[in-house]
């Protein structure tokens, strides 16, 4: 093992990138919060903040170790190796090759675990018990996120040297198409089914209450996503630049693609469609960000924008209440990006196999079908997507059902009607009647008037 040599430039970039990715979770709170009805916006935003609060410490205690610790049976890292970050050392750490210390790697990866859990919450808007959600967050990051991240990025079964790499080729997941988006999308899908529909789903209008929040959230997500994708290079170099411009361009085209579908199908190009297209494009380019050229990025963006715009209608056809389209955007977008790598991966190598292009892929990964790599990488990417769907689906069902029959997932029906904000959190998002703030009905601080006990 070569001794660790600090690279201040790369380290500075990775600290900045980690901060950018952390911003994505509050951004998601706005993106999701604007899409709910005004009586449940606080709960929606609290699910993102709650996931952040729970997953952050867990990551430091055992999450990082479970993901990047010494491989156990190809599916998980040793959770005790770096428990509470004991024994953490820069030598041979995750980003040692680019001169970034282990602490920075821990922090950067923490932000990925946090956003992945938060993404799931969009599928269960308006109706979930907050306590159950917090427990779910802790269990899910431990039993689903960390193992899958280990398999793909931590030297497990889905990374170079794993079984898939032996049989076919090394899978490419530059920044988290399988680990983050397919994973969260599938988990949201299963939870939506386990928890059941909102009262009045597909009968009563449930239109977004604040589209400027949605646009603000999409904008901040996009901003943070540059840290997510370009940061996944672990260095401030040309490949990070390639990931950055791909993240810009695929997203632009995806937004246009979504609007095109809407204009033809619904006769209106909507702001919600533009924001959704932005997120769909970001999701799809994530696994491919550093491994496709700019033309490939455009095609991936176009496919994501169109397919996700069509996919969000499926919940009405099949009758599952994926409230804010975690399936339509993250599962479908994640699959689109992951599989299309098999068509568009384009990495040039010299005779010794060293990468000579701005784009990059792990050793053992092949170019896509359109760039002379044949069908092998397409098969690899498809298999990996299916495996991620299966693991995430099965594990989420187990956790979801266990919580359903112990803590319970649903708030009481009358609380759902009145609004989860008031009944669970004891707050209302908006005070639009000035008189209620200072009127006779107000109660002074400290003089609690308990009107209704909410079972935790």
Partner 1 sequence: MKLVIAVIKPFKLDEVRAALLAFGVQGMTVSESSGYGRQRGHTEVYRGAEYTVELLPKVRLEVLVDDEDVDDVSDVIVRAARTGKIGDGKVWSVPVETVIRVRTGERGQEAL
Site string for partner 1, 280-309 (x = CB under 8 A): -----------------------------x
Query: Residue 385 class from Cβ within 10 Å (0-12 exposed, 13-18 middle, 19+ buried)?
Result: buried
Q: Which residues pair with 71 in a beta bridge?
A: 77
Query: What are the two backbone dihedrals, phi and then psi, of residue 100, each rounded to the nearest 5 degrees?
Result: -105, 125
Q: How far is the CB of 432 from partner 1 (least distance, A)?
A: 10
Query: What are the two backbone dihedrals, phi and then psi, of residue 455, each rounded to the nearest 5 degrees?
Result: -70, 130
DSSP H or E run through 76: strand 76-77
Q: DSSP alpha helices (H): ranges in 40-101?
A: 41-58, 64-68
Query: Per rule CB under 8 A, is residue 260 in the interface with partner 1?
Result: no
Q: How far is the CB of 267 from partner 1 (least distance, A)?
A: 8
Q: How far is the CB of 268 from partner 1 (least distance, A)?
A: 6
* CA–CA dist 118, 138 (Å, integer): 11
Site string for partner 1, 82-121 (x = CB under 8 A): ----------------------------------------
Query: Per rule CB under 8 A, is residue 316 in the interface with partner 1?
Result: yes
Between residues 92 and 313, which has the closer beta carbon with respect to partner 1?
Answer: 313
Paired sense of beta strands 71-72 and 76-77, if any: antiparallel
Between residues 29 and 279, which has the closer beta carbon with respect to partner 1?
Answer: 279
Query: Per rule CB under 8 A, is residue 207 in the interface with partner 1?
Result: yes
Query: Per rule CB under 8 A, is residue 325 in the interface with partner 1?
Result: yes
Nearest to 68 by CA among 152, 139, 140: 152
- Report the chain's C-alpha Rg in angstroms: 22
CB 213 within 8 A of CB 34: yes
Binds partner 1 (CB under 8 A): choice among 89, 268, 413, 430: 268
Q: How far is the CB of 195 from partner 1 (least distance, A)?
A: 20
Query: Per rule CB under 8 A, is residue 270 in the interface with partner 1?
Result: yes
Region binding partner 1 by CB under 8 A among candidate stretches 53-61, 92-100, 311-319, 406-414: 311-319
For the record, the structure tokens of 257 come out as 């693609």
Q: Which residues bind partner 1 (CB under 8 A)?
A: 205, 207-208, 262, 265-268, 270, 272-273, 276, 309, 312-313, 316, 325, 328
């Amino acid at each position: 093992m070569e001794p660790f040599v600090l690279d201040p430039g790369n380290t500075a970039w990775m600290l900045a990138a980690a901060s950018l990715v952390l911003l994505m979770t509050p951004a998601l709170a706005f993106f999701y919060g604007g899409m709910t009805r005004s009586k449940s916006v606080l709960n929606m935003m609290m699910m993102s903040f709650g996931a952040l609060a729970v997953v952050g410490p867990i990551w430091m205690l055992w999450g990082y170790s479970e993901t990047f610790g010494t491989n156990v049976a190809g599916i998980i890292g040793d959770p005790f190796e770096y428990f509470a970050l004991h024994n953490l050392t820069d030598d041979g750490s995750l980003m040692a090759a680019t001169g970034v210390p282990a602490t920075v790697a821990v922090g950067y990866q923490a932000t990925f675990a946090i956003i992945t859990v938060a993404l799931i919450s969009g599928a269960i808007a308006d109706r979930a018990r907050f306590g159950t959600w917090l427990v779910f967050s802790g269990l899910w990051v431990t039993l689903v996120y960390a193992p899958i991240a280990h398999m793909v990025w931590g030297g497990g079964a889905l990374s170079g040297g794993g079984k898939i790499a032996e049989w076919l080729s090394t899978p490419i997941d530059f920044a988290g198409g399988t680990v983050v988006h397919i994973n969260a999308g599938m988990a949201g899908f299963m939870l939506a089914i386990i928890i059941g529909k909102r009262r009045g789903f597909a009968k009563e209008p449930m239109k977004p209450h604040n589209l400027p929040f949605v646009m603000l959230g999409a904008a901040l997500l996009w901003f943070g996503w540059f840290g997510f994708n370009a940061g996944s290079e672990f260095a401030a170099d040309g490949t990070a630049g390639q990931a950055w411009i791909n993240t810009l361009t695929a997203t632009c085209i995806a937004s246009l693609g979504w609007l095109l579908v809407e204009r033809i199908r619904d006769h209106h190009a909507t702001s919600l469609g533009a924001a959704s297209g932005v997120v769909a494009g970001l999701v799809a380019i994530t696994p491919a960000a550093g491994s496709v050229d700019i033309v490939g990025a455009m095609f991936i963006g176009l496919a994501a924008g169109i397919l996700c715009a069509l996919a969000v209608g499926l919940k009405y056809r099949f009758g599952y209440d994926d409230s804010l389209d975690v399936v339509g955007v993250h599962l479908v977008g994640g699959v689109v990006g992951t599989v299309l790598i098999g068509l568009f991966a384009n990495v040039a190598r010299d005779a010794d196999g060293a990468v000579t292009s701005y784009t990059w892929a792990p050793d053992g990964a092949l170019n896509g079908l359109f760039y002379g790599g044949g069908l092998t990488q397409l098969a690899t990417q498809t298999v990996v997507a299916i495996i991620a769907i299966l693991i995430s689906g099965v594990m989420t069902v187990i956790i979801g059902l266990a919580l359903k029959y112990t803590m319970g997932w649903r708030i009481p029906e009358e609380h759902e009607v009145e609004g989860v904000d008031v009944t669970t959190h004891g707050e209302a998002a908006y005070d639009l009647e000035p008189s209620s703030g200072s009127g006779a009905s107000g109660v002074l601080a400290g003089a609690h008037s308990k009107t209704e006990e909410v079972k935790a």
